[in-house]
Structure 1
């Protein structure tokens, strides 16, 4: 709880309006508190309350957990030091909360508008700042210049002393000529490496989502096997079967959400790649 309080204050100072870390934390804390909550309720019904102080404090704790989970799902108001945007139709994704980004709820308004009538140019949102040609091309050119500088500095010169006779006089002059080593090919800067440095980390996040989705695909078969064993065992409690079914449902939902996040990162990476390559060819830095 102390770590959650510190993180909450830290993100508030940074201007974070919706924290995914805190939402996941409060969700897991509430999920873990459900089992002792149920046990205490059933125990109090059967045997009564033996320790009223611990019973009352736990109920207050559980109520506060649920309240924190509900409040963390809402997006906070923008801070006073937020920059003023001159864009008349900004993309709502930039201001969307964690759950809205996770479920793509920020896109719902445009989808409903497109269902009601054909969309026009004025209905479309502006690009996010990170997706504009000005940003992606500038980053790519910066990395390209770094790569060219690195290649130039790694070229090792070879010094050769030449003997030159001047005016038929037996006089020798030492000169340092920078020569390329014979038979060695001049190394060229790698544009592929520049692309990987510029857009690789963003694409790697999408790959991590895909990895989690692939790992979750092995969960449902295992849960199904446990559910079959539960059906065969007539003495197993009913709540165990409901728990397995709920876990199978949550696993499928998690796979869907994670897979769509993977697709989102892949599509955005492809869009940025096309814009950056086109811009660096024609030098459309604006």
Structure 2
């Protein structure tokens, strides 16, 4: 050839024709005559594979391989083939004007690679599976032989050749793995589908798919595909839902929490932030893992302006300064960065929600068990409405705590990285931007303090309203008989007005903080560009301006989220304090009732003294003597307020015993 297309991936001397009139096309450092054989074979096999798919579609057997059944080499090779096919199509588009003979061949190879990618996933029948495996093996052998021949003749191998060779080896490995799996399944089934019973045995339980999933399945969340596919085909029933993992069960989460709680209560009398320290000790491994995902997401997101700067700088170069290696490195770096950002963010969300579910379940169960053993004095300090709020509001709020906890430290890190990036781009021109950032930070302090105070008062008003409502509903018969509806309606409405007032103050302070931090990125970007123009620390060309604007996107997220993060953390702190105060309340005396199962007496009490308020020294029941044998019937009679209910509570051990 007289002139090589600029999209070729090897030198023109790799495959020259023997004569000046010979037709040789240099495509990725492979001769036309050699590659034509591979292209024809691939085209023939792809036509056979597509025909098998059409036959399967006519028979209504068209389906993809389930994600759980997809071998790992196939899962890796399929996207690689797709990317390689897209790259060939892009090279063909680029070579369309300069090499009209080479562009169609690039399109042909792009179609072949995309078809190979589909064949790794879609194998509906035995025929299509056999054709696909034969295609993978033949393609791998041909490409490997061609590359080995060029290495032996010391011809140049282009980037496309090397990548194709690696993907071909993955195809060969995929064919081997699928063949071995089919052979093992045939040996285990003893004949395949023909030997399957017409009526499958019922009663089998669906196990937790997450535990049985492999690395790739967990990485891409394909372990959910079977459940989603089943839900698409029919309405899901309770038997279709997989079982929970053992660590996700409420009983296991509560057991771990209570074990650590009792251990810390025995070792130390410190009650400050006790619930938080117990939760951190129980779930420290999960917290560290989600923190790693958060860090990866923060670093990859903060590096986006750097990639933009590199792309714009590369586009501003002269034509002779642009090389294929830099181009490929930029594209590969962008793909890798976005892949890491996407996967780390998804696993951060999933891990945080899963960890929050465990914390929420543990606290709900712990509060419920504490309520069953709460002493009489504790019941006086915590009404049933307040305890309901501990479960429905405070414990439920802890479900979002891990997500906001990682935001609380990752947002400042992201802000620091963005500031460092600004100094790297514009130098001293970024110094004026520190002033509005500092002003926003200083203004946030009084907002946070007022928000904490209003949030605490709102929670108190909510508890009072819940307590009054519960008392009215509990005594509704008396209220109706005495015609006290208007009086109690006014009382509940007054408490509700107070609750709404504190709720309005809380939301108003949140609005002030949000408005401040929504405006700040625009102000900061204007100050940065003005400072750069004044100091002349960097040229205001396209690469600098676009990178500064992209960096403002990195800055805007912490600015927007920090007020909300502080608000949520304040609410979590209030909820943790309320739950901790409830969990350290006194319980029933373990020695209030001595149980002797082997005794003939069902109840034996001598000179018993009991009090609902033992701290005041006032006895509710004195000199109680009761003896009851098994099967004996006893009636307790007396006027209202004589202590009949207290006597029953004393026999159950629910009243503190003062004597004996």
Specify the TM-score bucket, using the shorter chain as the normaliser.
Answer: 0.5 to 0.7
User: How far apart, in 2, do the equivalents of 1:69 and 1:256 lie?
Assistant: 28
Q: Partner residue of 2:207?
A: 90
| Residue 118 to residue 102, structure 1, CA distance change in 2 (3 Å) | same
Q: Partner residue of 2:341?
A: 255
1:201 to 260, 285, 309: 285
Secondary structure in structure 1 of the residue aligned to 2:212: coil
2:135 aligned with 1:49, yes or no?
Answer: no
User: How far apart, in 1, do the equivalents of 2:282 and 2:172 lie?
Assistant: 38
When normalised by structure 2's length, the TM-score is 0.26
Q: Which runs of 5+ in 2 are unaligned?
A: 1-70, 77-145, 156-165, 185-202, 371-660
User: How far apart, in 1, do the equivalents of 2:168 and 2:257 lie?
Assistant: 48
Q: CA deviation at 1:213?
A: 0.4
User: How far apart, in 2, do the equivalents of 1:144 and 1:46 lie?
Assistant: 67
Q: Deviations over 1:123-182 (max 9, x none)?
A: 111100111123211111110111011116xxxxxxxxxxxxxxxxxxxxxxxxxxxxxx
1:123 to 233, 240, 243: 240
| Residue 47 to residue 114, structure 1, CA distance change in 2 (3 Å) | closer
Q: Partner residue of 1:273?
A: 359
Bigger relative CO (Cα 8 Å, ≥ 6 apart): 1
More helix by share: 2
Q: Partner residue of 1:191?
A: 275
Q: CA deviation at 1:68?
A: 11
Q: Deviations over 1:26-82 (max 9, x none)?
A: xxxxxxxxxxxxxxx99x9599439xxxxxxxxxxx7999589979x99x99xxxxx
User: How far apart, in 2, do the equivalents of 1:206 and 1:69 lie?
Assistant: 34
Secondary structure in structure 1 of the residue aligned to 2:209: coil
User: How far apart, in 2, do the equivalents of 1:45 and 1:229 lie?
Assistant: 36
Q: Partner residue of 1:53?
A: none
2:105 aligned with 1:105, yes or no?
Answer: no
Q: Which runs of 5+ in 1 are unaligned?
A: 1-17, 24-40, 51-61, 78-85, 153-186
Q: CA deviation at 1:239?
A: 3.6
User: How far apart, in 2, do the equivalents of 1:87 and 1:215 lie?
Assistant: 45
Q: Deviations over 1:195-250 (max 9, x none)?
A: 22112431231122111101011323212222222222212212421331232122
Q: Partner residue of 2:505?
A: none
2:231 aligned with 1:231, yes or no?
Answer: no
User: How far apart, in 1, do the equivalents of 2:254 and 2:307 lie?
Assistant: 48
The aligned runs of 1:173-188 (5 Å cut-off) are: 187-188=270-271
The aligned runs of 1:153-164 (5 Å cut-off) are: none
2:298 to 194, 199, 214: 214
| Residue 115 to residue 47, structure 1, CA distance change in 2 (3 Å) | closer
Count of residue pairs brought into register by the alignment: 195
CA RMSD of aligned residues (A): 3.9
Q: Partner residue of 2:414?
A: none
User: How far apart, in 1, do the equivalents of 2:251 and 2:301 lie?
Assistant: 40
